[in-house]
Structure 1
Amino acid sequence: MSSSTSSPSPPSDACAALAARIGVADASLLRDEGFIADAWTRAELGDGGGATFDVVNPATGETLVSVAKLGAAETRAAIDAAAAALPSWSATTAIVRAQALRRWGDLVNAHASDLARIMCAEQGKPLAEARGEVAYASSFIDWFADEGRRTYGEVIPTHDANARVFALRQPVGVCAAITPWNFPLAMITRKAAAALAAGCVVVVKPSEETPLSALALAELAARAGIPRGVLGFVMGDANAIGEAMTGSEIVRKLSFTGSTAVGKKLMRDCAGTVKRTSMELGGCAPFLVFQDANIDEAVKGAMGSKFRNAGQTCVSSQRYIVHEDVIDEFGAKFAAAARKLVVGDGLRGKTDQGPLINARALAKVEAHVADALSKGAKVLCGGHRVTENGCDKGVFYAPTVLANVPRDASLFREEVFGPVAALTSFADERDAIALANDTTAGLAAYVYTNDNARVWRVSEKLEYGMVGANTGVVSAASAPFGGVKESGTGREGGKHGIEEYLEVKHLSVGGVGR
């Protein structure tokens, strides 16, 4: 399969103008069309020919650019292109696939500044966080470029002296990936790099809130020489695209990151063709602080876990379950630190927290806070929209810490996906664990204690796929990421991530006896 690198084609006039407005040096990274069979494509195949949708900056309300609105016909075309590319790509050696991935990763790193500015403009996170995500996205490409070389088979002790038994690992085939807006680069590379390294081909549907980051990745993949059809991108009519993916007999695997409700629907839709699925769904993360914890370190961990990306992460801590002897100290220090955060447009000056993604997200946060206050919660800081300092046209909410949040409040049952921390107290370890586990979610949990025995004891009893002990960070390319209960199935990252894209085939060879 040919994998020669390519030169960038010129951007549209609208994308060139946007590049100048947001300070992107390489304007050809900005694209307003889908990417199918190594070609930039508009909605010309179906009934919606020529249709577009607007991409909006959540910090300013400004329309950045109009992007081609693709649908079922374009999705089927991308799937067909992927299927055509599969035989050659899967037969390519792991070393050659790794070389192509590394070229892609090198280009991501080389264009980190531009990618961060694109992300900041369409998603809203501060520029420093956006740069961090670019590095995080690149780390998955680097990791899986190596993991692809380690998809070993097995020689199995034989049951018959005249036979030899093996287990082979082979690529699943054509895969589909549906990715969210909160990490518009990293959630793509975490899926696509694993799939490509395994020898699969992928069609990606990025969020309609943040297609520009995804299309920049497509442009860099083309420049890196990822062959025709191996990696496609379609966006636009989410329902039509999703149904084309789940209903296709060609697509053998679907990976999704997003809400639990949508994940359940996709799983039902995939059942018709018995697709393999990986689901990274919603969380409602508990943050346990015991009486022997270092409170200053706990506050530091809470700040990073809660307010990164304005609380719009699936592993964001939400339910702060703090021992009654230290809850007042923890709450006061947590609120004091939160008040210092600068809220604003991530592209302008020093900003610690950007906007929420849209007005619906803002309304959801306000509803959760109102529910808690109506049930007796107390505001330690925040609790309101932010409109000053140039924030009047965006969707900003103040970093918020609520104390005395009752256990029947919606904040203890539903994912807020915003910058709101809910504090409640506990008296003993058993009570803390029971409250932490009293949810259908099971993605991430956090524990702060200086008792090493308690670290092990509590971590083993928490019903979560990931536990951070004395740290507010649980994500890394080298570690398995995923949840239990209604927070999903499968794992991404680590050595486990590539297994999601491999089938195990039993090979029994007879007639080899002497």
Structure 2
Amino acid sequence: MDRGLFFDGKWQFPPKLERFDISDPATGDPVGSTLLADREIVDRAVTVAEKAVPVMAASHADERAAMLVRAAGLIEARVEDMAVLLTREQGKPVADNRKEIIFGAKVLRYYAQEAVRIGGSLRPAMAPDIKNIVSYHPVGVAAAIVPWNYPVDLYCWKAGPAIAAGCPLIVKSPPETPLAIAMLVDCLHEAGVPQGAIADLPGHGPVAGAALAAHPRVRVISATASIPAGQDIMRNAAGNLKKLCLELGGNAPLIVMADADLEAAARAAHRRSFSNMGQICITVNRILVDKRVHNAFVDILAGLTEDTRLGHGVDAGVEYGPVLNQSVIDRVEAHQHDALDKGARLVAGGHRPAGKTFDNGFFYRPTVVDNAPPDSLPMRSETYGPLAAVAAFDTDAAMIAMANSLEYGLAAYLYGADLERLWAVADRLEFGGVGINVNDVSELQAPFGGWKMSGIGRELGPEALDAYLEQKLVKMRVRRI
């Protein structure tokens, strides 16, 4: 599949653009390619989107809701083909990709419902002959930057609220995983999104992403990215004071209390550490365990990790696939060696698997290091790969200080039996989402985002609409009778 760029209501193949080749990370086999957008193409897409601003703003909420519902239905009808294609370009097993894509469709359906709830209010006035009417209006041309780890799902996280609010949307999609996205774009187009109101431009961040962030006629940008990329976006967006919604990096702690169900906690830690080979912003990087149960917990986690079955994600029964590319393996090995050099102990994994199945792919065994020092790389930096580091704590105060010690503040997890104690600890944790006896902090109807350097703004829930709407006060003097 050799795809082009989508803008002005159609697929286009502008000449003289660079083309990016996509290979299956499990085998190295070619899968397809995509054109890469440059600054000129970004400007052309913005010009077209501007023409769609009044069309989208004038559309009725029911129309926009119907578009989103139709798009969701088309996605659901094509989920199997999309899931297999996404596995071949990104590596996650088909079952995981199926879940991702179905959740993306649910996101669109949710924002179809929210579209018809965008209203206003009559506010109190200081004088009896004054009426204050507060209304909400689409901000204008919106831009989004989507990552390669969950490209379909996170595309929907941005397209759903943008369309619901009535904003044309230009997406810089990831060049590493643009093929399943192309199927998603077809679904949005076939669902009736107006000409110019959706554009999909795969490209590199420093080129296409920077052009969108700096463009003076783009009014809001939503990005899921690393902290350095988010900082660049913020600097580029300052020129016209764009609205920002940035979901950035994380280094999530999972905290295991002495009274936790250790088997359940270890299974949760294993899944959240190694799902998608740790290439998730809310992956567990640091596991902080009460010293009274530390050894028992590590034994269980090490056993689960050693039993992890790797393989090509299209094969039946495979739960864990390859990482995306060699750079992920290099980073994991660097973090692992740093921890071991500083005194940590390797208890599981730590090497590339042997065998014909793995010879041509980017496979690495899920890895656990114990007694990781606080200054070791996996304890202080986002690994974004299949490596989990364990450390012990002896008091709640020490544990909370360890958890809050980094610049990250996206997600944290707590496992234990004393819910009042867990709630008290959760109140002290400096994270946008805290899971208590659950290893996920995303919920369709609740806000998702980070504290500190992990982001600005929120996605999901009704809060996601805030980035795409402007408020207006109409203050009106009325005749008194």
- TM-score of the superposed pair, with normalisation by structure 1: 0.92
Counterpart CA distance in 2 for 1:98 and 1:131 is 24
Cα displacement (A) at 1:239: 2.2
Q: Is the 8 A contact 2:312 2:321 kept in 1?
A: yes
Aligned partner (choices 87, 95, 119) of residue 152 of structure 1: 119
Counterpart selection for 2:42 from 75, 96, 101: 75
Residue type at the aligned position of 1:492 = E
Q: What residue is the counterpart of 1:27 in the other structure? A: none
Alpha-carbon shift at residue 246 of structure 1 (Å): 1.8
Partner of residue 3, structure 1: none
Q: Is the 8 A contact 1:43 1:69 kept in 2?
A: no
Question: Per-residue deviation at 1:152?
Answer: 2.2
Structure 2 contact 203–209 (Cα < 8 Å) conserved:
no
Q: Structure 2: which amino acid aligns with 1:343?
A: L
- Residue deviations 1:14-61 (CA, integer Å, cap 9, x gap): x3xxxxxxxxxxxxxxx60110011111233xxxx2531111211112
CA contact (8 A) 1:164 1:512 kept: no
Q: CA–CA distance in 1 between the matches of 2:282 and 2:262?
A: 21
What SS does the aligned partner of 1:146 have?
Answer: helix
Letter in 1 for 2:8: A
Rounded to whole Å, the distance in 2 between the matches of 1:224 and 1:79 is 21
Query: Counterpart of 2:455?
Result: 488
Q: Which of the residues 96, 101, 104 maps onto 2:63?
A: 96
Residues 1:353 and 2:320 are matched in the alignment: yes
Aligned to 1:143: 110
The residue correspondences of 1:303-322 to structure 2 (distance < 5 A) are 303-322=270-289
Checking the alignment, whether the CA contact within 8 Å between 1:345 and 1:355 is kept in structure 2 is: yes
Whether the 8 Å CA contact 1:42–1:69 is kept in 2: the answer is no
For 1:293-331, what per-residue CA distance to the aligned partner results, in whole angstroms no more than 9, with x for missing partners? 111111121122111111100000110000001011111
Which of 21, 33, 36 in structure 1 is aligned with 2:7?
36
Q: Is 1:221 matched with 2:221?
A: no
Alignment of 1:48-127 (within 5 A): 49-127=16-94
Q: Shift in Å at residue 269 of structure 1?
A: 0.7
Residue 12 of structure 1: aligned partner: none
Q: 2:452, 2:46 → 1: CA distance?
A: 31
Task: Provide the C-alpha distance between the structure 2 equivalents of 1:263 and 1:235, rounded to a whole number of angstroms.
Answer: 18
Given residue 141 of structure 2, which amino acid in structure 1 is its aligned partner?
Answer: V
How far does residue 178 in structure 1 lie from its aligned partner after superposition? 0.4
CA contact (8 A) 2:252 2:410 kept: yes
Q: State the shift of 1:426 in Å.
A: 0.3
Cα distance in 2 between the residues matched to 1:358 and 1:51: 20
Note the C-alpha offset of 1:389: 4.5
Greater mean deviation of Cα atoms: 366-375 or 207-216: 207-216
> 1:43, 1:213 → 2: CA distance?
21
1:401 alignment partner in structure 2: 368
Deviation at 1:358, TM superposition (A): 0.9
**Deviation sequence 1:229-254 (CA, Å, 0-9, x none):** 11110113432212321222210000
Alignment partner, residue 474 of structure 2: 507
1:43, 1:51 within 8 Å by CA — same for their partners in 2?
no
> Equivalent residue of 1:272, what SS?
helix
Q: Does 1:272 align with 2:239?
A: yes
Match of 1:477 among 444, 451, 475: 444
Q: How many angstroms apart in 1 are the aligned matches of 2:147 and 2:437?
A: 28
Distance 1:146 1:513, change over 3 A: same
**Residue pairs, 1:142-221, within 5 angstroms:** 142-221=109-188
Amino acid of the structure 1 residue aligned with 2:68? L
Identify the range of structure 1 (482-491 vs 401-410) with the bigger mean alpha-carbon deviation.
Answer: 401-410
Structure 1: distance between partners of 2:244 and 2:12: 28
**Greater CA deviation, 233-242 or 267-276?**
233-242
Residue of 209, 216, 233 corresponding to 1:242: 209
Structure 2 Cα separation of the partners of residues 68 and 355 of structure 1: 25
1:463 corresponds, among 411, 420, 430, to 430
Q: Which moved more, 1:216-225 or 1:264-273?
A: 216-225
Letter in 2 for 1:161: P
Aligned residue type for 2:211: A
Residue matched to 1:435: 402
| Partner AA of 1:130 in structure 2 | N
Match of residue 292, structure 1, among 243, 250, 259: 259
Matched position secondary structure for 2:102: helix
The structural deviation recorded for 1:411 is 0.8
Q: Do the aligned residues in 1 keep the contact of 2:34 with 2:175 (CA within 8 Å)?
A: no
* 1:118-152 superposed Cα distances (whole Å, 9 cap, x missing partner): 11010000111111111111111011111111112
User: For the Cα contact (< 8 Å) 2:143–2:222, is it kept in 1?
Assistant: yes
Q: 1:353 to 1:365 in 2, by over 3 A?
A: same
Post-superposition Cα deviations, 1:402-443, rounded to whole Å, max 9, x if no partner, equal 111111111111000111110000001111100000100000
How far did 1:386 drift? 2.1
Matched residue type, 1:77 = R
Supply the AA of the counterpart residue of 2:4: E
Find out whether 1:415 has 2:382 as its counterpart: yes
* TM-fit CA distance, 1:489: 0.6
Distance in 2 separating the partners of 1:172 and 1:304: 39
Q: Which 10-residue stretch deviates more, 50-59 or 32-41? A: 50-59
**Map of 1:441-456 to 2, 5 A cutoff?**
441-456=408-423
Q: Deviations over 1:152-200 (max 9, x none)?
A: 2111011122210011111111100001000010110001111100111
Runs of at least 5 residues in structure 1 that lack an aligned partner in the other structure = 1-14, 16-30
Give distance in 2, aligned partners of 1:320 and 1:50: 45
Return the offset for 1:62: 1.9
Segment of structure 1 superposing worse, 386-395 or 397-406: 386-395
CA distance in 1, matches of 2:479, 2:267: 63
d(CA) in 1 for partners of 2:411, 2:17 = 42
Residue 97 of structure 2 corresponds to residue 130 of structure 1: yes
CA distance in 1, matches of 2:399, 2:74: 46
Using the size of structure 2 for normalisation, the TM-score is 0.98
C-alpha distance in 1, partners of 2:479/2:283?
A: 57
* Letter of the structure 1 residue corresponding to residue 247 of structure 2: E
Letter in 2 for 1:35: F
